[in-house]
Chain A
Amino acid sequence: MSFLSGFWLATMVVVTLLYWVLPARFRFLFLTGASALFLGYVDWLSLVTLSVMTIATILFTRSSSVSGTRAVAAIAVIAAFFLGFKIISGPLDFLNAGDVLIPLGIGYYTLRCIHFVLERYKGQIGRFEPQNVLSYLFFVPTLFIGPIHRYPEFARDLRRNRWDSDTFLEGIERIIFGYIKIALLGNFLTVLFQDAGTTFFATRSASVVVYIEMVAIGLNLYFQFSGHSDIAIGFARLLGFRVMENFSWPYLKQNIGAFWRSWHISLTSWSREYVFAGVVAITRSPFLGTLCSLIAIGFWHEVSLRYLLWGLYHGLAIVAWQRFQTVKQRLPEIRSLALRRLYAGLCVVLTVHFVWLGFLLVRQDGPLEMWQTLRTLLTGS
């Protein structure tokens, strides 16, 4: 689903207009209905999948308290759908259909459903109104590309929802920023940079060509993804909802841990809260928790060997960085301000290149291609 399409723009305008014209008591019902209609129009399979997951979520969690068995059963049903689609479009893609079989937005609403079930199980979400859960899961601004916002904040926004011109203007501003990131910085300038660079260096250095490709992938990924998040957040604000932020200057972080706290925040925080915390709560092993958390993020993108390797790549890097912190405490402190700044700058450069390399490698088909790309980057051969 491209947010650049005229259809999407028209949807935003019409939904926003009707939402505020309608009497307050009909607004949430209208928004849920409009979201379902829109989803059904662009991908009927996704509408069916989301409906089934929503029913399962509500049915399994509607008792006053949710037992462990019920929570596991609910998650099993939801995860079975998600993994089923991921597997038949990945490792078992005999029809060679690829992503065509993946319901639009399934990755996002699966995590929302699991979040709801687990918070009910933990007792953090009390008794609920089913129509509020419907509104939460069928919330058109975040349906297709996140952020994976959380129910308690959404339910609070339902209670606080009111017309507020400042919030509305903030929404318009964010949407404009989003389009600038996607169209100007991503689709135009980054592509221009990549084309010019690769043309110039094509006959001069294979290493530099791969390097330029790596930088372009890293930049474009950020502009596209954070731009789409800006539009989703902006659209939500047009409707009076404040959806969580998804990016916070991730390429300016000084270490890999900080990067993962500022990149796709709604996904990484989800993984930290449910995968990392779950594994640690059971095993008391942060090492295992970190690895499982990053592998889960990898598999969320695609169930494949390359994403397993990508998850391990980041997971091991975080563990190494955490270990380094204990060693670092024993090292002498840098006293010079200039040296401290230089050190910080080097840390940023190192971190961002580590991340970009990961993005470059995970684009390759398999381990052999990854190795080949790495070799070309480092040696030019």
Chain B
Amino acid sequence: MSSPNDRLARILSNGLDLGSGRRLAISGATELPYRTLVERIGQGRSLLDQHGVTVGDRVVILSARDSDVTTLYLTCLAHGAVAVILDPQASVSELLVLINHSDPAVIFADSNIVERTRSLTQTERAAIITVGTEAASKRTGFGLLLRQKSASGGTTYPAMLAGFDRTEAPSTAQDSDQALILFTSGTTSTPKGVCISRGALAIQMELLQRRFSVDTESRIVNHLPFHHSDGLNQGPLLTFVSGAEVIRPEAVNMQSVGEMLDLVYQRKATHLITVPTVLSMMDRLSPEYDDSFSDDAFQFVESTAGPLEPGLWSRIEERFRVRVVNCYGLTETVCEAMYCGPSDDSHRIGTIGKPDGFEVRLVDENGADMAVGEVGELWLRGPGMFSGYFGNEAATAEVFVDDWFRTGDLATCDADGFYQIAGRRKNLIIRASTNIYPDDLKDVALTFEHVTDATVVGVPDEMLGERVEMVVTLDHSDAAKGRLDLFEHLRTNLAAEKMPNEVTVVENLPYGPSGKVELAKVREMVSRLSVQGQGSGLDDKVIAEAAAAFRSSTDGLSAASTEASVEGWDSLAFLEFVMRLERRFDFRMAPKDVMRIRSIGDAIGIVSDHVDREGGTVS
């Protein structure tokens, strides 16, 4: 694979040697041995050859099958093609825009996506290859043995690879050629596809290997999605070039976050790469998970893709006895640009640490450098920087000043060289570490026939970081019906991860003298309406009843409180708690519900269900 001016090919080749005999654990139970991976990469290159794909041609990968995305991505890198990884949960209209903009030579897509995007298959010039298992029609042993016959030239990827020989010859790609395009925004007409060169990708992988001490003994748990750089490049790629193991849990949510920690424990993981929202979920787990990082091999948790609240950061470090390395980076910097840890000299809670691999400037609106402690826009420069937005020169020109990249984030730097994020200049909401551009949502809302005006704001949220609130004016005779229809319209045209948390219908949006919507007033409006909402304060009221029943202070109680953590929680006090809730919320709790209360959170859930179901009041 190696070529003198292709650093990426060299590290890929090195990874193959290092990883021999090891495996990547993809999506929990599915394991992908390195030898299978190597086989598929070689055969995949022949498949690309067959479709005329050469260096610089774009290959769209659109699949929810982690093992296949991994193999296809590495195949593209080995072949010199440009991988375009898209969100498999994106809406049809988004996909059509993004694929059209990418102008690919080949599209690999899951069968359900091909089905969903029929209009794509009818109009797209590129070859479309279905990703997935072959239909299970070929059985052996009179139907008693359910093992499929070994595929010999199937019709879907990867079964179809069986019909190809391996291509071993090095590609002619150079460091300056593009390797990857990831889209950061664009649901309608102006997508921003971040182009990452092979050289930048290789430099960032080498930096991460050094900074995070990733080697053949590393076992990295990374649950982030593949259409985000932190999931893709700090997952399969970083581990592949290091001969390490990547372990991908199933989707992580409040119900399954404990299982992710069990996986960390069981596999004796060395690193966990996650986001602040998941750390916030971990913070709510019961104490039985406290030993999750107790193995000597475990090095640290990396928190990325969003601001990490200092209180949460300290609690996680103290409770789990683990170092949390907070990193700052953007898709435009491939992975991270600033690191708060893991070493003591670069670790200071509340900051994003110090730059590595990048030069940093803090500048005012005139481009003048700021002094220590003063707030300025964060500018970055370095060999790991992206090349530009694909097919969007205007957007590229807008973010570069000479070779400095304007991040749009505001920051300060203290006398010791630690940087701290102070705000945001760009119009962006970060919800659960997913970047959401309000304009994207607004554009889609305005395509709904009854929406006359719309705006989208971010509102602080303890768990998500920010909630996405859409505020609209409608010309519909029935506002409630219009709102529901708008939700349906948004669901059809937006990826699930971009859907607003709430849509509020108002008479008029507040415009300022300059003719722009005053976002601060919109936020106030949303907060006011939220406080008036039915469910507000329910947690506090249930906790107040718990405090009265358990003879405890409300300060010491939370949704996570259980019999084990509350001193006064005995069977009698528990019964008093139940009866207090019944009196306060005017309902009779079913025996099944009484028996399933193990924590105050369970009680909150039961009362909340009752309020939702019966339209009860929270007094």
Q: Which residues of A contact B (CB under 8 A)?
A: 68, 118, 121-124, 156, 159-162, 257, 272-274, 276-278, 280-282, 284, 286, 289, 322
Contact = CB atoms under 8 A, between A and B. Distances in A.
Contacts of B589: 281
Interface in B88-109: none
A162 B268 contact: yes
Nearest to B31: A25
Contact of B262 (A122, A156, A286): A156
Interface in B529-585: 570-572, 575, 579
A162 B262 CA distance: 11
A272 B598 CA distance: 13
B575 A122 contact: no
B210 interface: no
Given A122-B596, A123-B596, A257-B570, 6 more contacts: A118-B595, A272-B571, A274-B595, A277-B594, A280-B571, A284-B579
A161 B594 contact: no
Contacts of B596: 122-124
Contacts of A281: 589, 591-592, 594-595
Contacts of A257: 570
Interface in B346-373: none
Given A277-B595, A280-B594, A162 B571 contact: no
A276 to B, nearest CB: 6
Contacts, number: 50
Nearest to B267: A162
Interface string B204-242: 000000000000000000000000000000000000000
Given A159-B259, A160-B266, A162-B268, A286 B595 contact: no
Nearest to A119: B596
Contacts of B579: 284
Contacts of B312: none
Chain B, interface SS category: helix
Question: Which A-B residue pairs are the 3 nearest by beta carbons?
Answer: A281-B591, A281-B594, A122-B596
Interface of B: 258-259, 262-263, 265-268, 288, 570-572, 575, 579, 589, 591-592, 594-596, 598
B595 A159 contact: no
B268 A289 contact: no
B572 A322 contact: yes
Contacts of A162: 265-268
Contact of A160 (B262, B572, B575, B598): B262
A350 B266 CA distance: 47
B22 to A, nearest CB: 15
A214 B369 CA distance: 87
A159 B594 contact: no
A161 B267 CA distance: 9
B592 A121 contact: yes
A156 B598 CA distance: 18
A257 B572 CA distance: 12
Contacts of A272: 571
Contact of A286 (B268, B571, B592): B571
Contact of B266 (A122, A161, A286): A161
Nearest to A272: B571
